[in-house]
Structure 1
């Protein structure tokens, strides 16, 4: 039996796909294939955050229905499955079952129930022990919580992944140890608000917060690097920032979703913080770690955004000098508060697009200057990729998230190499090993 899976969206979806692959392999005997035409089961793990996710989904279903072999099943999983439910089967009869993002542990059951729809948002699999995936790399994803309690006006995630529940710390540490024993050196901890870890458990549990969890994981032999996504600016208290700065295994690269630099728009978005709080947290972090790299998300053209509001966003961009930026023009999502506003406060598309262009142009200028300043700096690089034919090189990321290529050198994947930056090509860093 062969399984083909298409994963759309975030790292959380990638981890959900890993769980489903492992469950189906151990409990049902499926083996993964990269050719949909030869699969007995085709899974589409969907994302609702992307623009026009429903159109994308039904287009994919149609393509798979045309090429699948006789008797093969199609299952729709993930966030779009959560909020559309049985509507998917009504619109696409070729779909055999629908499995929501909060119901991943049911995968080995639902494949045997034709036209089943399992999208319960209150379902709790936070203590479910998934079968181990065959991770043979040096990096791995690890869930520490599920769901989200936030009420951001633009976000559909609480309506697709349910309320926030933390996974018991002993389960997290146990899985991390197993991954380390299998050769994993870098962990990426996943949650919708990772630094709010410990807010709620579904079973009796000791009092613990995210800083405590980082300390526990960093004690595991073999784990050399810890990353996480995404922390919420509202929960970046001093204890968290100080642990981030002083824990030598925690990588000095952090994603701090801004969304808007305007306190007025942040209030409309229901983000829970204002411009001053955000900048205060950045200043605290940069005082502790001058070389920290910071990434962010920004939504341009949110309903009611004035030119003055947008200027505040540009001001934050200039002050923080973000190293990575994911930026988008606002588009409404079903089941969200802002979707109910209709055209109220709508920013004309041509204005929003022009603002986005200005934002991205300024960020490109920032990155060009940052790349030039990197020349001469030395970083510890975890080798993640090698090319041994043609233009030979090794490639990997520094502790603070810089992607660095090392020409004419072939190291082992998983090696940590001291590398001096000697050149940049359009913002891409080129280095040589320090002997």
Structure 2
């Protein structure tokens, strides 16, 4: 019997990519062959996102592309958007099955024979209420032996007024510290050098008893992972400022394996807007976290998430955010214009910001981000550091990262892939990439 081919497409965050990888391995264990999306596969699995804009349009477009590659293929949709709008997605022409949050990791069992609905019928929907998504399914990305994204936490118990994630992924849950350590040891045995810890609300990691009383927390996990031999680097992907405790920051500063790199969502530099967003901190706490990081790790890289144009954000509120960020010792910004989400509180708030103003504010903060990043890079020119090179090659160039997440470009050399190389940082080029040299020999290709 001919081996069936399966292809995947992932929209959204690194967590989604790690889950797509996990589902892909399930298919391979059952004898399917994984092929690139642009190949003619028998089955296409599209993992969707509810956070990025135009989820419906993107989903339709990817379905259309899949059916161009093979009009006879079976198309199934999973992910956050699939949990939020299963019936709507099932009506998209060419979609044969939609699986919700609790079902996506049983996809191969649920769909078994991959039989299509009768012509003219909508896709089959397998999506239980989000309250039933109570199991934690471990996942990690693979294919890049250098760096792996490891999911250690899922779901969120917070109720920010702009966010649909709790509706799409359910309550916060995770496995034990011991089970994560065992997974990391398995990854180390495959040659992985760097692991990025990911989750929906990563800092909320912790094994909980039946009464949801916490027995372990994120600090316990960080301490345990620091002892795992065979992994050179760990990174903490994104952690809420109220959960990134002083203990964690001070531990990373003296750690053997955790990199001096933090990504801390801010969302607004205005206390008024943070209140409307229902965030669990105010700007002073954020400033205190940044100050402590820079005190104990002056070279640390700090990334910031910001939303502009939230309902009620006046020009004065935006300027307050701009000024706050301008004065803050951070390294780069991820800026998002606010966009309305159904079933959230924010769209009902007064003071809708015109799209034009959202766009202008986004542009201003992205400009500030470029300046911040260049300044951060330039501070490190002349320093000697370790660069871990990745296996992505573009136009004869490869890239690697320093411990504090400075992106370094070099001429492609197969011997450098997955290697930690001692280099001297020499200059920041026009593309905002760092150039470097090794023992007086330049490795960057002009």
What is the TM-score when the length of structure 1 is the normalising length?
A: 0.91
Contact 1:149-1:158 within 8 A present in 2 as well: yes
Contact 2:83-2:99 within 8 A present in 1 as well: yes
Contact 1:192-1:229 within 8 A present in 2 as well: no
Give the distance between the partners of 1:408 and 1:156, measured in 2 at CA: 42
Inter-CA distance 151–44: structure 2 relative to 1 (3 Å threshold)? same
Inter-CA distance 126–171: structure 2 relative to 1 (3 Å threshold)? farther
Asked whether 1:61 is paired with 2:66, we answer: no
Question: Once the two structures are superposed, what CA deviation does each residue of 1:255-276 show, in whole Å capped at 9, x if it has no partner?
Answer: 0111100010001001111111
Give the distance between the partners of 2:344 and 2:216, measured in 1 at CA: 31
In structure 1, the residue matched to 2:8 is: 5
Contact 2:242-2:280 within 8 A present in 1 as well: yes
Question: Once the two structures are superposed, what CA deviation does each residue of 1:147-195 show, in whole Å capped at 9, x if it has no partner?
Answer: 0111111111111001101222222111111100010111111111212
In structure 2, the residue matched to 1:382 is: 388
Contact 2:398-2:410 within 8 A present in 1 as well: yes
In structure 2, the residue matched to 1:367 is: 373
Give the distance between the partners of 2:304 and 2:337, measured in 1 at CA: 15
In structure 2, the residue matched to 1:402 is: 406
Paired residue total = 427
* RMSD of equivalent CA atoms: 2.5
Question: Once the two structures are superposed, what CA deviation does each residue of 1:241-288 show, in whole Å capped at 9, x if it has no partner?
Answer: 112222120011110111100010001001111111110111111111
Asked whether 1:122 is paired with 2:131, we answer: yes
Q: Secondary structure at the match of 1:44?
A: strand
Contact 2:269-2:283 within 8 A present in 1 as well: yes
What is the TM-score when the length of structure 2 is the normalising length?
A: 0.89
- Structure 1 unaligned spans of 5+: none
Give the distance between the partners of 1:296 and 1:142, measured in 2 at CA: 21
Give the distance between the partners of 2:399 and 2:294, measured in 1 at CA: 27
In structure 1, the residue matched to 2:108 is: 108
Q: Secondary structure at the match of 1:258?
A: strand
Question: Once the two structures are superposed, what CA deviation does each residue of 1:361-414 show, in whole Å capped at 9, x if it has no partner?
Answer: 222223333333222122211121376x985x5531000111112348663322
Contact 1:383-1:411 within 8 A present in 2 as well: no
Inter-CA distance 48–204: structure 2 relative to 1 (3 Å threshold)? closer
Contact 1:16-1:104 within 8 A present in 2 as well: no
Q: Secondary structure at the match of 1:256?
A: strand
Question: Once the two structures are superposed, what CA deviation does each residue of 1:330-366 show, in whole Å capped at 9, x if it has no partner?
Answer: 110122111344xx21012222222222222222223
Contact 2:387-2:421 within 8 A present in 1 as well: yes
**CA drift at 1:290:** 0.7
In structure 1, the residue matched to 2:240 is: 232
Contact 1:43-1:75 within 8 A present in 2 as well: yes
**CA drift at 1:135:** 4.6
Question: Once the two structures are superposed, what CA deviation does each residue of 1:279-334 show, in whole Å capped at 9, x if it has no partner?
Answer: 01111111111111100111111000012211221122112243221112111012
Map 1:188-267; keep pairs closer than 5 Å. 188-198=196-206, 200=208, 207-267=215-275
- Structure 2 unaligned spans of 5+: 117-122, 441-446
In structure 1, the residue matched to 2:351 is: 345
**CA drift at 1:116:** 3.4
Question: Once the two structures are superposed, what CA deviation does each residue of 1:113-164 show, in whole Å capped at 9, x if it has no partner?
Answer: 754322232344645577x976561211211111011111111111100110
In structure 2, the residue matched to 1:26 is: 29
Q: Secondary structure at the match of 2:103?
A: helix
In structure 2, the residue matched to 1:433 is: 438
Question: Once the two structures are superposed, what CA deviation does each residue of 1:209-233 show, in whole Å capped at 9, x if it has no partner?
Answer: 1111112112111011001222111
Give the distance between the partners of 2:83 and 2:395, measured in 1 at CA: 46
In structure 2, the residue matched to 1:50 is: 52
Contact 1:329-1:356 within 8 A present in 2 as well: yes
Contact 2:409-2:435 within 8 A present in 1 as well: yes
Contact 1:105-1:125 within 8 A present in 2 as well: no
Asked whether 1:155 is paired with 2:163, we answer: yes
In structure 2, the residue matched to 1:88 is: 89
Inter-CA distance 182–352: structure 2 relative to 1 (3 Å threshold)? same
Give the distance between the partners of 2:38 and 2:413, measured in 1 at CA: 37
Give the distance between the partners of 1:172 and 1:263, measured in 2 at CA: 37
Inter-CA distance 372–206: structure 2 relative to 1 (3 Å threshold)? closer
Give the distance between the partners of 2:25 and 2:244, measured in 1 at CA: 34
Contact 1:103-1:125 within 8 A present in 2 as well: no
